[in-house]
Chain A
């Protein structure tokens, strides 16, 4: 997935089997997209850019990071184009080619999330929130919810660590994911 001589659509088709060029711009995906109102590019526009637009523009656009993978678009696409699958592929290619413009808060969230899994095998929510806050700078977010979470027994202080941590670390390495 690294050759920049290929068009993005071809590259995505080779990697995922999804053919973005089959999109005929009906706009059904964007009509159902819950993040359309907050994104510069709506799903059908992402599909157009992938097929005909600038590779770099497509990979640098922030809109691909605002996709929740709710899969409404892919469920409704009348031509089987799977916009959510295309967006997942775009995110992966943009990270690999160093062009990802994911918002700081999201980068902080995903990085901390995956680090937690790599270190313990499971997600430790307190660790996730602390790591997220330090990375994102959003120190005061959700502070007022903390006492409520504690009194309801919803925050475990100690992380769960599985026996197979080495196996999980190896799995990350085998997938080529470095954090």
Chain B
């Protein structure tokens, strides 16, 4: 993942992608209600030198509606995308939407574990399927490059990293960590891989209780009252643990916590912005807010960003002042030492003058 080919290209079926290029499965939400996730992801992978190419002619993964009504359909719909990626020569597919990631990875796992299902697949899909593609979540991808992110976030640059010291609540929800086989090797009850990326960005990941609680997911439209109850508990816990923003890696979580937050307010508490992890990484890398879709949120991000920029400027000024003071003191010390040395040279009788009289 070191060579950039074209971060926005669509792979052509049959043509082999350059080594290291990841197949990209945006999913319907990133093409629909959450375009800022797509925008910020493309900007971040480009900045990090990771090449991605959209799977040609991908279809919807079926999300909750398919597996809820028919198990086989819940496997076959995502499997078609894996087959397409495979045919285009990819060995890994990045699925930033947590629901898509979960369905693609669950299908991959189901077919790997069930020889009968594997045998059925080519007939159902109408295309060859060797189940050879690995499915990656955005958190696994970013965790793998967190050292690079940390180096870039702490590098000296014209506009300082606005994230230093900001308190963020890493919210994983369900689909990135459950079932445990799909949690990217992390602990499904106390995952840390998003916290690690947040810390690499220079921010502080707060300890809180609701990081793997469900936001109500697919009931957003069909049972909104449940979503408001669950979302309110998540937001109140993040706020009471000092978080200035909640960070998500799922368009459903984002819709439920951002779009529906206004309906959750009870006692006039200040609203809490809900950021995508890619927006957070983008800010740490110094990408402009406009390239990260930060204006598309329902809970405005501008007040927090303005505050962070003021704090960053203040921090830089404080650091400069401290460095200046240190330099002044060091200069004074040096001058004093030089003076003492000169006095000693003028008076050879003084011990420790280094003379050989």
- Which bracket fits the contact residues of A? 35 or more
Query: In the docked arrangement, what's the CA distance between A171 and B127, Å?
Result: 11
Taking a contact as CB atoms under 8 Å apart, the answer to whether B64 and A153 are in contact is no
A167 at the interface (CB under 8 A from B): yes
List CB contacts (< 8 Å) of B124-174 with chain A: 124-127, 174
Query: In the docked arrangement, what's the CA distance between A89 and B226, Å?
Result: 23
Q: A34-B230, A171-B125 are in contact. Are A106 and B31 (CB under 8 A)?
A: no
Taking a contact as CB atoms under 8 Å apart, the answer to whether B73 and A175 are in contact is yes
Taking a contact as CB atoms under 8 Å apart, the answer to whether A75 and B296 are in contact is no
Provide the main secondary structure of the chain A interface.
Answer: helix
Chain A residues with Cβ under 8 A from B57's Cβ?
A: 121, 162-164
Chain B residues with Cβ under 8 A from A160's Cβ?
A: 28, 31
B35 to chain A: closest residue by CB: A153
Chain A residues with Cβ under 8 A from B216's Cβ?
A: 34, 68
Stretch in contact with the other chain, from B43-51, B217-225, B326-334: B217-225
Query: In the docked arrangement, what's the CA distance between A110 and B68, Å?
Result: 9
Query: In whole Å, how far is A117's beta carbon from the nearest beta carbon of chain B?
Result: 5
A72 at the interface (CB under 8 A from B): yes
Query: In the docked arrangement, what's the CA distance between A122 and B62, Å?
Result: 9
Stretch in contact with the other chain, from A19-27, A40-48, A50-58, A142-150: A142-150
Taking a contact as CB atoms under 8 Å apart, the answer to whether B217 and A92 are in contact is no
Query: In the docked arrangement, what's the CA distance between A91 and B66, Å?
Result: 11
* Chain B interface residues (CB < 8 Å from chain A): 28-29, 31-35, 57-60, 62-73, 76-77, 80, 123-127, 174, 178-180, 188-189, 212-214, 216-219, 221-224, 226, 230, 259, 295-298
Task: Provide a sorted-by-A list of 7 A–B residue pairs whose CB atoms are within 8 angstroms.
Answer: A66-B226, A88-B67, A91-B69, A103-B222, A122-B31, A149-B259, A176-B70
